[in-house]
Amino acid sequence: MTRTIDGNEITRNEEKRNRTLYTRQKDGSKILKLNIEVEKSDEVFPDSQVVTF
């Protein structure tokens, strides 16, 4: 999957068990990460969403 974030093309090669996540960080910046690159947090951020593809 490829997304353009802040003018940069970001690509993640997902697999069936390692999905791509498109979300925001604490500072509000958008990120595209593989499932194994993130860890679960109990913190909730206003207007935060995680989109899996």
Rounded average pLDDT per 10-residue block, the chain, 53 residues: 90 86 84 84 63 54
Number of domains in the chain: 1
Q: What is the pLDDT of residue 31?
A: 87
Q: What is the pLDDT of residue 51?
A: 57
The residue range of the domain holding 15 is 2-52
Q: What is the pLDDT of residue 9?
A: 94
Cβ-contact 23, 50 below 8 angstroms: yes
The conformation of residue 15, written as its DSSP 8-state character, comes to B
Q: What is the pLDDT of residue 7?
A: 93
Q: From 38, 9, 8, 7, select the one nearest 21 (Cα to Cα).
A: 38
The whole-model pTM stands at: 0.59
Q: What is the pLDDT of residue 47?
A: 61
